[in-house]
Chain A
């Protein structure tokens, strides 16, 4: 783990990948390291609003990757697989649309981190050989609940927005609701499965 100073009261911890970043962030939250924000991302964890940077740095040096899968809640997301990119993804994966549905829905994903929009989770778990490139130019409007792929990430759009992910289908699950106790359905650490409808 490499630690980078970020101004006066933040530290960026760099690890190998998103799985390790989530592991570190989960440990750090439980250990209460004295940071207002603990933000996992693709291969870093940002600790912001740190009252004592030296103390936090010392505690971070105690951490070792557990290598264990996250013990977060498991959420089943119902999906109607009728997305505009389904046939294209089938072609890229060398299968038919039924094959895409089967492969996509047999994986248990993990919400590694959120970004792009409130409640938009980057879900890890898709094998590298199934990675698909983003659209060359993003669609001006993607409907909320759209389930898509970009690289080896899977994601579900919580709100309508422009978007460049390859869309496989749609869910009617509410991904983001600020009035709920857990506003983001797929907060970091959540295990996610997609159930074809």
Chain B
């Protein structure tokens, strides 16, 4: 079996797939790639199916080698025009620090074939369910390549825009037109953002009631507002339950952008009106 030898890592390298679904009621975060279109593209380029596990590389710094030649592709941060290439055995493959964006994705034909944990190979950085984080010296098994590599693919348009939001379950905890306020001014990405949440600096959203909400289930993309009024967008490793009111929910199709926003960059929200009467 082919192995991938990890020679060097940057700030954080984890194994990710589509995540661990259906276990939130046991307190298990979903995990999974943050920039799902980039991870899917990397898999397509090397001929994997969409469930294959890839490496999520935060700010580059990864060096790997394989002991038998294989197709490899890197997408996401710094790689808008992705393609697959043949990596011969023993040759070092580097993912450099990108000049823009945060998360890069490395797929190898056959996928990273570590044993799944609860049905997924994703690492959840909240409770560390799943494979351990990837460190220098790790030797990762590579699965058998099945599909035909498609070294050239049309990447998704790497077009950023405002994060589209719909109203959340606890909008009535906030004063006035809080969703309007959220969408009125830009927020700045804060330095303590991670796989759990995109933290922001910007105009606070005042509440009209005090106290804490009894813990309730949280969704991916929930815009949770703690007592200081500054919103947090929940990403893949978010806790399955939480006690701060959720003002809004970011459209899943826009969440990939949160994987690529750097501290200091601006982000805006824009409101999508849900069809009336779908729930009451």
Contacts and interface: CB of A to CB of B under 8 A. Distances in A.
B78 interface: no
Contact of A183 (B24, B118, B214, B274): B118
B70 interface: no
B251 interface: yes
Nearest to A120: B27
A20 interface: no
Contacts of B231: none
Contact of A36 (B21, B249, B279): B21
Interface in B198-232: 214-219, 221-222
B21 A49 contact: yes
B26 interface: yes
Interface string A9-37: 11110000000000001000000000011
A38 B23 CA distance: 9
Given A5-B274, A178-B129, A115 B280 contact: no
Chain A contact surface mostly: mixed
Q: How large is the interface on A (under 10, 10 to 19, 20 to 34, 35 or more residues)?
A: 35 or more
A117 B219 contact: no
Contacts of A43: 214, 216
A41 B219 contact: no
A39 B279 contact: no
B25 A38 contact: yes
Interface in A93-142: 113-120
A41 B23 CA distance: 14
A45 interface: yes
Contacts of A113: 25, 215, 241
A69 B246 CA distance: 31
A178 B131 CA distance: 12
Contacts of A179: 117
Given A5-B169, A118-B129, A44 B217 contact: yes
Given A54-B278, A57-B278, A188-B25, A5 B166 contact: yes
Interface of B: 21-28, 117-118, 127, 129, 166-170, 214-219, 221-222, 239-241, 246, 249-252, 274, 278-280
13 contacts: A3-B280, A5-B274, A6-B219, A7-B219, A10-B249, A38-B25, A39-B241, A42-B216, A48-B217, A115-B215, A116-B27, A119-B26, A183-B26
